[in-house]
Structure 1
């Protein structure tokens, strides 16, 4: 793909702007996790039924990645990104006006499918910088996504408590429309990297998964770890607003805000992956997820002590999950320069399918077993990923 922009120009404000846009778009996927209990109360449905809005958003995101992100290699980025942001804003307005859980879930699926701006901008940004800086730039954009993820949960929790569950949807719509207007003016011009027809673009991620073992490995790692991550955040909203703590959705938002430190860790993870390779960073990240699950299990204690361990556990979990994602992206972006969007499509589709399944399993585990069941799910999924990485290391070791 040819970018009509000198690489030196990319450091003068374009990358930070892309990071901010990623935060706005990704926030649309995550703020429903904080307002789930408010949705349940407002629509008069059980909490696990209200969690359908979260699950629908994440499955919609996975579908949008598969169906729309490959267009990043086919359509100029400005036109594609602005159109998707406008569609996302319309979906958020429909979700905020939904009269029941079924239309809310449908609108949430639309929002998830359209708000796939971050996985389109990531490959674009990789083409704006030298190969030796791709890990660092990926970390910066991921830091922006994390900021959106955390702030959206925090602000969503506060707005949901004070103004009702519909207010976060309308506020997110306003931010998304503003982002579309800004990017329509300042996003760099690009030329398509391919003229392939849409069916060929859709088939490409499956072809790449068959052809690239490294891509399959990245997909498995992130699907497992992100599944556990999503299960934990879905479950903790039920834990904090349940009888053990008796808190409001504002507490979920505050818990998310504590993890803002993650924003500053992902650029470091990117530099480490640039220097040492992605696999060591993956292994450390997976081991940290297992440790976080053990810490989070102590959250059943309740009270101040329970809140303290939840803060510590989620801090470790967030840093580990996001650092692993940076490592995976470094591995993926080194595969095929002309097909970065399609490589990212395969990877992100698998990741968010894992997240959607994780959210559903987390709600089911909490309903049947409680918080300890959720923590066991988080740890078990990370162990599966770690075992795969250890197997790769042993296979690569020279025989004696």
Structure 2
């Protein structure tokens, strides 16, 4: 068994390749997030209630969590290039199926399929970490995460604008074209690697669970990310309902454009990665948890409506985004140092927990908004971030 799944010298992994991998992460991750901006259009297009249409987001996130658990361990078992290209191809087919949906159940099924197969970002991260020296892991992880953040932000803006202009099906078609294009590019330029294990597939799945049971630091990182990411998805799922509702009465394109306010997050995660390389993950986690708790208070100002409310929402979501993503860099640097020969399996356990937390947060956000309005969503953020902070302080 090799210690890292690498079959090429480290010097061949150029900054250009890291940048391309970051773009790939962004294109893939965007498939999970652009539906957040188009759920009001889906509701009108399929003649279903708005809260029912919002379950499309939850379906994609549940599918993503399932895909992480079932497929990401294969990053330790197979060469990365064909695995990533195959998953991107299947994701493109799922997006095409979603664009042709004639009913909400069909769209939900296609969304689950897209979520399951678009898990290339958590496969790329441990691959890239194994291709660089130890003292660059934080920086490279931050760069890849910056690509994912760009996909999250731009996909919401793209989904809202294109959906408002051409209908809710158009974003799915454009996303399919982008995913299939990236799959074609990576056939030629993705790094070549070799497996780090020959374990059978059932054993790989069991290993992720065994690692979660045996590695205390993995469990801690999983809890941090599940709670903070749950707060994040609660906000962004409820935000579309708030901005398109009676308080603001804005269109879906504004919901997407609103996400661009948080573009600064793309530049913060590489800085957080370098800070982690110097100081370690724990100080970054602490700062990020406190920031998420503060964001809940700021976001509550969105209830007042008008310009003041929009400013509060912009500032609050910016603080939340930067804190969540920077904390994710810290958590991944911590877990990748545990077992160099099992990074994909470690990431499987970590990302599965994170997106299960995100799915629960999305569901709680929809229900809290339906029952208590925007104040309920802010309360969900405060509760989840408070749980993470309490766990960190009681270590």
1:105 Cα offset (Å): 0.3
CA distance in 1, matches of 2:287, 2:15: 33
Aligned to 2:14: 11
| 205 and 2 in structure 1: CA distance in 2 versus 1, 3 angstrom threshold | closer
In the TM superposition, 1:369-380 aligns within 5 A as 369-380=372-383
1:302 matches 2:305? yes
CA distance in 1, matches of 2:240, 2:194: 44
Unaligned runs of 5+ in 1: 393-400
Output the TM-score relative to the length of structure 2. Answer: 0.98
Aligned to 1:227: 230
Unaligned runs of 5+ in 2: none
1:11 Cα offset (Å): 2.4
1:3 Cα offset (Å): 1.7
Aligned partner of 2:329 among 326, 331, 334: 326
Q: Is the 8 A contact 2:369 2:377 kept in 1?
A: yes
Aligned residues: 392
Aligned partner of 1:119 among 119, 122, 128: 122
Aligned partner of 2:204 among 201, 206, 210: 201
1:132 Cα offset (Å): 1.0
In the TM superposition, 1:32-181 aligns within 5 A as 32-181=35-184
1:216 matches 2:200? no
CA distance in 2, matches of 1:73, 1:300: 47
Aligned to 2:255: 252
| 12 and 324 in structure 1: CA distance in 2 versus 1, 3 angstrom threshold | closer
Aligned to 2:276: 273
Task: Report SS of the residue matched to 1:243.
Answer: coil
1:202 Cα offset (Å): 0.5
CA distance in 1, matches of 2:372, 2:311: 22
- What's the RMSD between the two structures over aligned residues? 0.7
Task: Report SS of the residue matched to 2:149.
Answer: helix
CA distance in 2, matches of 1:372, 1:144: 32
Output the TM-score relative to the length of structure 1. Answer: 0.97
CA distance in 2, matches of 1:308, 1:267: 26
Task: Report SS of the residue matched to 1:112.
Answer: helix
CA distance in 2, matches of 1:11, 1:177: 24
Aligned partner of 1:287 among 284, 287, 290: 290
CA distance in 2, matches of 1:120, 1:294: 35
Task: Report SS of the residue matched to 1:363.
Answer: helix
Aligned partner of 1:390 among 372, 390, 393: 393
Deviation track 1:62-83 (CA, whole Å, cap 9, x = no partner) reads 0000000000000110110000
Structure 1 segments of 4+ aligned residues over 6 angstroms from their partners? none
1:12 Cα offset (Å): 3.9
Aligned to 2:363: 360
Deviation track 1:91-147 (CA, whole Å, cap 9, x = no partner) reads 000001100110000000000000000000000000110011101100000000000
Task: Report SS of the residue matched to 1:88.
Answer: helix
CA distance in 1, matches of 2:277, 2:313: 32
Q: Is the 8 A contact 2:31 2:175 kept in 1?
A: yes
1:344 matches 2:365? no
Deviation track 1:212-245 (CA, whole Å, cap 9, x = no partner) reads 0000000000000000100000000000000010
1:5 Cα offset (Å): 2.0
CA distance in 1, matches of 2:281, 2:114: 32
CA distance in 2, matches of 1:198, 1:80: 14
1:203 Cα offset (Å): 0.4
Aligned to 1:263: 266
CA distance in 1, matches of 2:15, 2:229: 32
